Amino acid sequence: MNFLQRLNIKTDKALLIAFAGLGVAILLLNLFSTPSVPGEVANSQSEERYAVDTMIPAGHLLIPLELSNAESLSSLSGNFSIVDLYVSGDKGKKGFKIASAVKLLRAPLNPQQFAVLVREEDSGKIVTHEGPFFAALKNPKEVSKVRATKNPLLIQYGE
């Protein structure tokens, strides 16, 4: 005995029709709710996921850089590294260090671009120099030296 012959009671037929109608309604809702461009939803979600500017700590700046050794860094480092930053010298001049133990971040939307995360007061050292810069990788577990602050000079008059 096949399935349709077993459904000779009116209530079973009504349930079957209601179930089929529900399935058609869900299919139509799904069909009309999809975006016209398939990548539209994926792009907006990826942009939200890579909103780097919302993750910058207070009192810090994220400065994009042009690195002379960017290709080497791409193969050696992950999404972020701790580096010493140097100004690349001209052919006759020697380069010099402008930042020590700064965090180097890879751009999420273009992995060949890099930026450094520095304190606002240290940003002047970097932005006043023209690139390209040179980054030397450091051990991230190395204890960084605490900045030595000079005690204010106290002058006593009298005795």
pLDDT of 123 higher than 60 = yes
Does residue 134 belong to any structural domain of this protein? yes
Instruction: Specify whether 61 is located in the same domain as 101.
Output: yes
The domain total for the chain is 2
Contacts with 93 (C-beta within 8 Å, 6 or more apart), sequence order: none
Instruction: Specify whether 65 is located in the same domain as 131.
Output: yes
Answer yes or no: are the C-beta atoms of 65 and 127 closer than 8 Å: no
Does residue 57 belong to any structural domain of this protein? yes
Does residue 103 belong to any structural domain of this protein? yes
Does residue 52 belong to any structural domain of this protein? yes
Residue carrying the six token digits 């077993």: 6
Res 116: pLDDT: 92
3-state class of 82 per DSSP? strand
Answer yes or no: are the C-beta atoms of 63 and 85 closer than 8 Å: no
Averaged pLDDT for residues 131-138: 88
Q: Whole-prediction pTM value? A: 0.56
Instruction: Specify whether 69 is located in the same domain as 14.
Output: no
Does residue 66 belong to any structural domain of this protein? yes
Res 148: pLDDT: 52
Q: Which helix (H) or strand (E) holds 136?
A: strand 133-138
Instruction: Specify whether 56 is located in the same domain as 22.
Output: no
Task: Specify the higher pLDDT residue, 146 or 140.
Answer: 140
Averaged pLDDT for residues 103-132: 87
Instruction: Specify whether 60 is located in the same domain as 19.
Output: no
Structural domain containing residue 26: 3-33
Instruction: Specify whether 53 is located in the same domain as 22.
Output: no
Instruction: Specify whether 67 is located in the same domain as 24.
Output: no
Q: Band of the pLDDT at 96, cuts 50, 70, 90?
A: confident
Res 10: pLDDT: 54
Does residue 98 belong to any structural domain of this protein? yes
Instruction: Specify whether 13 is located in the same domain as 53.
Output: no
13-17, 36-40, 75-79, 106-110: the lowest-pLDDT one: 36-40
